[in-house]
Chain A
Amino acid sequence: MLIAAALSALLALAVLGVAAGAEMWRHRLVYFCCMIASLALLAGGIKHLGQTPGTGPAIVLPIGLPWMAAHFRLDNLSALFMVVVNLATAAASAYGIGYCSHLPEPRRVTPFYPLFLFGMNAVLIADDAFMFLVAWEFMSLSSWLLVLADHKNAENRQAAFVYLVMACFGTFCLLTCFGLMAGGQGAYSFPAMRAAKLDGVAGFLVVLLALLGAGSKAGLVPLHAWLPLAHPAAPSHVSALMSGVMTKVALYGLIRILFDLHGEVSWAWGAVMMAIGGITAVMGVLYAILQDDLKKLLAYSTVENIGVVVIGLGLAIAFKGSGEKTLAALALVAGLYHIVNHSIFKTLWFLSAGAVITATGERDLGKLGGLTKRMPWNGVAALVGAIAISALPPLNGFVSEWLIFQSLFKGPSLPHWAMKFGVPVVGAMLALAAALAAACFVRAYGIAFLGRPRSEAAAQAHQVPASMRWTVALLAALCVVLGAIPVTVTDALSHVVTPLTGVQFAVSADLGWPWLSPVSSTRGSYSGTVLVMTGAGLCAITLLLVHGFGTTRIRRADAWDCGHKESIPQSQYTGQSFSQPLRRVFCASIFAARESVDMPDPGDNRPAELKVRVVDPIWVGLYAGIGRVVDFIADRVNRFQHLTVRHYLLMMFSTLVIMLLVVAVRQSQ
């Protein structure tokens, strides 16, 4: 009931958003109400998760297709994603209260924002394919309008176009996928699909189409191309949701189809997904390291994290398809944990990026610097997010990656040779992605928040409104909590995976709280709680010893800098120079990264120039190729537009003759 009321409220808020007009307090009110509705949905999700495993009552509404009512139902998986989605939307809405007045045109954002929230939540509770797809389109189109919010910028219009094309492609794949699952009878409700058996070819196509459809929305390489364009174009609190949460709704769709509706997916698809996930993770983070635009960097980092989750999901499918149900449950818990974590720290970072843009008007790393001194709240919160996203203990990002590694290390126990040889390679890719993510966020945080300001705007940065500070602080606190008490989270998640894998299982095998020990206590264990307490104790002892044996005196002075005189801030390392070693090591072959130095002759007054050329192989190889093919076909087809009536009649007639011929030939056989 609570959920239904909150969802209707969101629809009503969209109308209110239209009516808000130029009055800023009305926009604030809409965001405030969105926050309340999100909190209500969050409470509904948590309440359902807290109950014993099972599904909520099915709700049937007499809307939709004439012969079919709309079915809704809340089960554990939906409830978990409802918590994930609404935690982030509550934070983003609260942030929006302060942020909306800084937008160039708040009127182009406020009406669509509640619709976007509504669409995401409706996907989660849909219980038939029709409602699922309608909600999915709702989500896509409302976010497309939000990407277009700043429509005067040509780059944003281009981004919105690419996004629309990719969204249509994704929905088309999902539509076909559901069509196949519905079978000849057209049984579009999820319970009927669950009961149906899929034979070889149809089963194969369903998985392929689900991967293409949900994967394009989630941002799997090579379908990620729209993500780094669209996410930065939207206002920051919307990009936080698109990147942190909408990609998770896409993964929900994938999990719903592969683990629930399809039921029996072959282990080989798991191996394929692990390979795709590994490539996505490494490519995503390498793209991110090359970016100078803060929001683009974050969008690419999302691609990386989606890859990490998909490795976990693929592993779960491989285990499930081979009959290893407990390990499947472990891998799925690991993947879901990473979904929860990523939604929190990515929202945190996008909101921080929004604060940076509000305070300085810049999102180019090369023009930032020293912000942690002028924006201490955001500085600390973003640092917590950076540590969490780099998968470092004791924060939450590490726990989920640890679980994924633990389940990966069990992968070679499967009898398939592809798994025996493939899993170590995927493990190496995951480790590489984790290490590169740390490099990426040392770069992002170090250049934006530390050092000396590189521009006047950064030097004049001011504090942002209160609602934009405490939302990020709250999310940062959540990163710490989810990292320090991992067992509590995994216990909740194991309830969610029980119906999907058919096995009751606890990640804290025999050590109990607060120890994570996936298989048994002798197989490797981890306790964030113990580490946090011991680490804090050791740091305190260090502090006491150092101050006890030494002096506490501090002298402020100019930077030493190897004895050089204080140089200009522009002499600091920039994003480009920071990534240069990584670019040379990793990107020379993948991205054909080349540097050329233009050094003028002695006596010439031209400034010297260092040029870096990076080619995106997927954009150039795949998308540009498709674009050329489409242009070519369009040019040819274009001629048919200007024919005379006589020609059109001739064409219709000849088509008719050909068709009749086909029918005649087939009947004579």
Chain B
Amino acid sequence: MSAILWQLLQIVLVVAISPLITGWVRLVKSRLNGRIGASPFQPYRDIYRLLQKEAVVAHSASWVFRVAPYVTFGAAWLAACIVPAFTTNLFLAQAADLIALVALLGVARFWTALAGMDVGTSFGGLGASREMMISSLAEPAMLMVTFSLSLISGTTAPAQIIAFVLSGGVGIEVSLGLALAALVMVAIAENGRIPIDNPATHLELTMVHEAMVLEYSGRHLALMEGAGMVRLTLFMALIGGLFAPWGMAQPGGDAVAVLVGLAAFLAKCFVLATALGVFETSIAKMRVFRYADFLGGALLLGLLATIFLYVSEAV
């Protein structure tokens, strides 16, 4: 019973705090740039404002264009509901493991890319083409991370991996470090952050995600932006959960344990969001064809994380 209750809390929580996290990253960046910056609550106002505006749809758009925002947001939301944020005792924890999680994010991307091509402008195609190139390297890297975690803990379910790490079954491993590095690189790429993509740009030379959603407006744009924010929260929960699961409530934990878990989750998000802001300000954006080097590196790190397991075993 409690699993269902905490699941409902998680469903509400990920959507409720996602704009705040994005707002906080923006605030950190503007402070580091020497600007005062908007309040961290600004994204809530932005989304509300977009919802009030009528949606403009191009004459050439088909039904895919209008369905895509809902599917994209729904898939991102569903994926975020599965990643344990503050407790591993979730009803949906068994419905999908890390492999399915990667694929659910793939669903969101698939529809966004199609929507980008639907109106029939060159920008949309450009964004879709680049996004699929990035994902074709990021997805295998993420699966390699899953592979090494599954070899260490014997399971691909995030809740079980967290339980294994919390039980102290694993010490400091080289593989874990490599996997963490790969996962962070994938997270940067999947969320369209610098150095892969710049979420604040409108230059055709550099944009990827923006190019795909260029034609969206009103509530459709709100959903597309919202999906991006939920995805950022998801990756923070994933990194914080898999590699720093401390404070998380376990099955059988009471309401106090869950409160501790919530506080720990918010603290982790705060730390990670601040770190992201600092990282983004201190690095320059890459050229498009350097992405392959960056993500190929992530893929190799993931592969090394797996192979190092045997090397460390043999030594």
Task: List residues 24-45 of chain B with CB under 8 A from any CB of chain A.
Answer: none
B307 within 8 A of A: yes
B231 at interface by CB-CB < 8 Å? no
A560 / chain B contacts, CB cutoff of 8 Å: 56, 58, 214-215, 217
The 0/1 profile, CB within 8 Å of B marked 1, for residues 552-584 of chain A is: 011111111110100101011100011111101
A585-B292 contact given A524-B156, A530-B95, CB 8 Å threshold: yes
Q: Which of B116-124, B233-241, B270-278 lines the interface with chain A?
A: B116-124
Report chain B residues within 8 Å CB of A551. 51-54, 218-219
- For chain A, the bracket of interface size reads 35 or more
> CB within 8 A of B59: which of A515, A557, A569, A578?
A557
Among residues 261 to 290 in chain B, which have CB atoms less than 8 Å away from a CB atom of chain A?
A: 288-289
Q: Mark B67-93, 1 if CB is under 8 A from A, else 0.
A: 000110111011001000000000010
What chain B residues lie within 8 Å of A557 (beta carbons)? 56-59
Instruction: Say whether, besides A372-B63, A439-B132, A522-B160, A392 and B110 are in contact (CB < 8 Å).
Output: yes
CB-defined contacts of A572 to chain B, threshold 8 Å: 120-122, 125
Within the complex, the shortest CB–CB distance from B145 to chain A, in Å, comes to: 11
Smallest CB separation, A554 vs chain B (Å): 5
Chain A nearest CB, measured from B173 CB (Å):
15
User: Would you call B259 an interface residue if the criterion is a C-beta within 8 Å of the partner chain's C-beta atoms?
Assistant: no
- Among B57, B98, B126, the residue within 8 A (CB) of A573 is B126
Task: Please determine whether B135 and A439 come into contact, CB atoms closer than 8 angstroms.
Answer: yes
Give bound CA distance, A210 to B12, whole Å. Answer: 56
A452 at the interface (CB under 8 A from B): yes
B104 on the A face (CB < 8 A)? yes
The minimal Cβ–Cβ distance linking B60 to chain A, given in whole angstroms, is: 5
Known: A535-B78, A539-B71, A581-B289. A525 touches B214 (CB 8 A): no
Contacting pair A409 B144 (CB below 8 A): no
Given known contacts A372-B63, A372-B64, A450-B117, is B139 in contact with A431 (CB within 8 Å)?
A: yes
The yes or no answer to B257 lying at the interface (CB within 8 A) is no
Closest to A585 in B: B292
Cβ of B113 under 8 Å from chain A: yes
Mask of B284-315 contacts with A, CB within 8 angstroms, 1/0: 00001100100000010011001101100000
Chain B interface, >50% SS class: helix
Please tell me if the beta carbons of A446 and B136 are within 8 angstroms of each other in the complex.
Answer: no
| Distance in angstroms between the alpha carbons of A406 and B100 in the assembled complex | 11
Q: In the complex, which residue of chain B has the Cβ closest to the Cβ of A390? A: B110
Partner of A450, one of B118, B123, B151, B302: B118
Q: Which of A451, A523, A564 is close to B119, meaning CB atoms less than 8 Å apart?
A: A451
* A434 to B144 CA separation, bound complex (whole angstroms): 13
Report B157 CB to chain A, min CB distance, Å: 5
Set of chain B residues within 8 Å of A427, measured between Cβ atoms: 143-144, 147
| Minimum distance in angstroms from B74 CB to a CB of chain A | 4
Cβ distance A285 to chain B, nearest Cβ, rounded Å = 9
| B140-157 at interface with A (beta carbon < 8 Å) | 140, 143-144, 147, 150-151, 154-157
Cα separation A562 to B204 with both chains bound (whole Å): 9
Find out whether the CB atom of B56 lies under 8 angstroms from the CB atom of A443.
no
Chain A residues with CB below 8 A from B165, complex form? none
B260 within 8 A of A: no
| Contact residue among A417, A527, A555 (Cβ-Cβ distance under 8 Å from B54) | A555
Residues on the B chain within 8 Å of A431, using CB: 139-140, 143-144
Give the number of chain B interface residues (Cβ < 8 Å). 91
Q: Is the CB of B56 within 8 A of A452?
A: no
> Residue B106 contacts which of A390, A554, A567 (CB distance < 8 angstroms)?
A390
Q: Does B250 contact A (CB under 8 A)?
A: no
| Interface assignment of B170: CB less than 8 Å from any CB of chain A | no
Instruction: Please tell me if A531 contacts chain B, counting CB pairs below 8 Å.
Output: yes
* Contact assessment for B117 and A573 in the assembled complex, using a CB-CB cutoff below 8 Å: yes
Task: Tell whether, in the assembled complex, residue A424 and residue B56 are in contact, meaning their CB atoms are under 8 Å apart.
Answer: no
B117: A residues at CB distance < 8 A: 442, 446-447, 450-451, 573
Q: A450-B120, A531-B96, A538-B74 are in contact. Are A524 and B160 (CB under 8 A)?
A: yes
A559-B120 in contact given A370-B60, A427-B143, A446-B114 (Cβ < 8 Å): yes
* Nearest CB of A to B214, in Å: 7
Instruction: Tell me the complex Cα distance, A583–B110, Å.
Output: 19
Q: A640: CB under 8 A from chain B?
A: no
Answer yes or no: A526 CB below 8 A from chain B CBs: yes
Taken residue by residue from 206 to 229, chain A's Cβ proximity to chain B (1 for < 8 Å, 0 otherwise) reads as: 000000000000000000000000
A357, CB-defined interface residue at 8 Å: no
B94's partner among A372, A442, A511 (CB-CB below 8 A) is A511
| In contact, A435 and B136 (Cβ under 8 angstroms) | yes
Contact A559 to B160, CB < 8 A, known contacts A442-B114, A549-B48: no
The CA-CA distance from A586 to B11 in the complex, in Å, is: 39
Check A578–B140 contact: CB distance below 8 A: no
**Structural contact, A539 and B110, CB atoms closer than 8 A:** no
Are A393 and B58 in contact, with the CB atoms below 8 A? no
Are A438 and B106 in touch, CB under 8 angstroms?
yes
A369 close to chain B: CB less than 8 A? yes
B179 within 8 A of A: no
CB neighbours (8 Å) of B75 from chain A are 535
Closest to A530 in B: B95
Known A405-B143, A523-B156, A546-B223: A561·B128 in contact at CB below 8 Å:
no
Q: How far is the CA of A427 from the CA of B302 in the complex (A)?
A: 11
Closest to B54 in A: A553
Q: Which of A390, A393, A530 has the most CB of B within 10 A?
A: A393
B17 on the interface (CB 8 Å rule)?
no
Among the listed B62, B77, B123, B125, which residue makes an inter-chain contact with A542, where contact means beta carbons less than 8 Å apart? B77
Within 8 A of B (CB), among A388-438: 390-393, 398, 402, 405-406, 409, 412, 417, 420-421, 424-425, 427-428, 431-432, 434-436, 438
Chain B residues in the interface with A (C-beta under 8 A): 11, 48, 50-64, 70-71, 73-75, 77-78, 81, 92, 94-100, 103-104, 106-107, 109-110, 113-114, 117-126, 128-130, 132-133, 135-140, 143-144, 147, 150-151, 154-157, 160, 202, 204, 214-215, 217-219, 222-223, 288-289, 292, 299, 302-303, 306-307, 309-310
Give the 3 A-B CB pairs with smallest separation, nearest first: A573-B125, A550-B51, A524-B156
Chosen A-B contacts, 8 in total, with CB atoms closer than 8 Å, are: A398-B103, A402-B103, A406-B156, A524-B97, A551-B52, A558-B58, A569-B120, A586-B136
Q: Which residues of A contact B (CB under 8 A)?
A: 369-370, 372-373, 379, 383, 387, 390-393, 398, 402, 405-406, 409, 412, 417, 420-421, 424-425, 427-428, 431-432, 434-436, 438-439, 442-443, 445-447, 450-452, 511, 515, 517, 521-527, 530-531, 534-535, 538-539, 542-543, 546-547, 549-551, 553-562, 564, 567, 569, 571-573, 577-582, 584-586
